[in-house]
Amino acid sequence: MTRAASAAAQSAGFVVIGSGPAGQKAAIQAAKAGHDVVLVERECAVGGACVRTGTIPSKTLRERATRPRLHGEPEAVERPMEELLAGVADVVEAHDRYMTAQLERNGVRVLRGQARFLGPTRLEVLRISGPSLQVEAPRVVIATGSRPRAPAQFSIDHEHVLDSDSILSLSWLPRSLLVLGGGVIACEYASIFASLGCRVTQVDRNHRPLSFIDAELTDVYVEALRAAGSDFLPGVGVRALHWDGISQVRADFDDGFGLARASNTTPVIVIRFEAESAAALERIKGEFRRALQPLKPGAPLPY
Ligand SMILES: Cc1cc2nc3c(=O)[nH]c(=O)nc-3n(C[C@H](O)[C@H](O)[C@H](O)COP(=O)(O)OP(=O)(O)OC[C@H]3O[C@@H](n4cnc5c(N)ncnc54)[C@H](O)[C@@H]3O)c2cc1C
């Protein structure tokens, strides 16, 4: 048992770990079905990636990006990101209030802290302040979401080489940007930054972005990117990234031409946008498996 853990565990019918869209829905549904529900969230606001780093901030930035074209405003290049993200904090706060009230209305107890399994039905909640708590429940829903993937060959310093979370902490909108990847989030940010007046070079090993949708549609996306003065380079992988210590990140492309292309843009900020839930989930599943080890082979699981 952890040093400061309270000896007596709180009991609940259901524990949900994570307050993103998945965790909230699970908690509310379980409460509506008559269960006594505890929701554990390690961040200070409920809502998960959707509210803090994903949907809401990116849509706020997109809204800002469409304004120059719609309202004839000047391009946003070299303007502070804080200005472009104005209003996000208010939206996040309003969302937190709304969701907290909804959880309260449904009788869901919210515990702030990092949950980990102590046993198949017992969790410890490590809190920033105050002693850790324990919760015992026959059913636990793991809704811990995803985080951006960090490819082994790159070092993401979150200053010059960023991921889809740290992109929002840029101080200034850069003049140019290299986006690695052709998935949904990569395309979203590539098109937003291009619309804001930033020169974007998007590269992907695939021959077209968003390869899971029809080519006619992805052609329109690539044409729009090019019309905004940016580009999509198909069939290009990046081997390595080097921050020159002054103003540029240089990318070595697999085809050997990368340096020349990348060094045309000053400065280059490189982003890797690929969310992957597997890593976080595997860690939690590992804890869960370890917790299950004392069970005898063949013993029925408590679920
Ligand atoms: C840039 C971007 C744009 C997006 N745009 C859209 C969009 O337009 N439309 C759309 O539908 N989706 C969008 N998404 C995806 C959407 O954000 C996710 O699909 C959604 O948030 C997943 O919800 P979730 O509940 O599974 O996980 P999350 O929202 O990631 O929530 C998981 C929660 O679990 C908590 N947690 C993790 N581990 C623990 C632990 N051990 N103890 C306690 N708490 C823990 C985390 O703090 C987090 O709050 C976007 C994502 C990104 C990154």
Q: List the residue whose alpha carbon is closest to atom 8 of ligand 1.
A: 55
211 domain-assigned: yes
17 domain-assigned: yes
Tell me, in angstroms, the distance from the centre of ligand 1 to residue 103's CA. Answer: 18
Tell me, in angstroms, the distance from the centre of ligand 1 to residue 124's CA. Answer: 22
Tell me, in angstroms, the distance from the centre of ligand 1 to residue 203's CA. Answer: 25
112 domain-assigned: yes
Same domain, 182 and 257: yes
Q: List the residue whose alpha carbon is closest to atom 45 of ligand 1.
A: 18
Tell me, in angstroms, the distance from the centre of ligand 1 to residue 247's CA. Answer: 33
Same domain, 17 and 115: yes
Q: List the residue whose alpha carbon is closest to atom 17 of ligand 1.
A: 50
Same domain, 32 and 180: no
31 pLDDT more than 70: yes
- What's the token pair of residue 127? 């809190």
Strand partners, 203: 180, 233
Same domain, 265 and 183: yes
Same domain, 212 and 286: no
Least confident of 49-53, 72-76, 263-267: 263-267
Same domain, 199 and 101: no
99 domain-assigned: yes
Please state the domain count of the chain: 2
Q: What's the pLDDT score for residue 267?
A: 38
297 domain-assigned: no
Residues near ligand 1 with C-beta < 6 Å?
A: 17-23, 40-43, 48-50, 53-55, 58, 114-115, 143-146, 164, 185, 275
Strand partners, 125: 115, 133
Q: List the residue whose alpha carbon is closest to atom 34 of ligand 1.
A: 18
Tell me, in angstroms, the distance from the centre of ligand 1 to residue 248's CA. Answer: 31
Same domain, 65 and 190: no
Same domain, 28 and 91: yes
Note the pLDDT tens digit of each residue in 273-286.
333 345 545 555 56
Domain range for residue 220? 161-270
User: Taking a C-beta distance cutoff of 8 angstroms, is the pair 102, 29 a contact?
Assistant: no
Note the pLDDT tens digit of each residue in 67-122.
665 556 655 555 677 777 777 788 888 888 999 999 999 999 999 999 999 999 99
Same domain, 38 and 109: yes
The pairing of strands 14-17 and 275-276 is unpaired
Note the pLDDT tens digit of each residue in 210-251.
999 999 999 999 999 999 999 999 988 888 888 877 777 888
Same domain, 194 and 225: yes
CATH of the domain at 216: 3.50.50.60
Q: List the residue whose alpha carbon is closest to atom 5 of ligand 1.
A: 55
198 domain-assigned: yes
41 domain-assigned: yes
Q: What's the pLDDT score for residue 74?
A: 59
192 pLDDT more than 50: yes
36 pLDDT more than 90: yes
Same domain, 40 and 180: no
Tell me, in angstroms, the distance from the centre of ligand 1 to residue 42's CA. Answer: 13
Q: What's the pLDDT score for residue 35?
A: 96
Least confident of 79-83, 133-137, 152-156, 257-261: 257-261
154 domain-assigned: no
Same domain, 7 and 142: yes
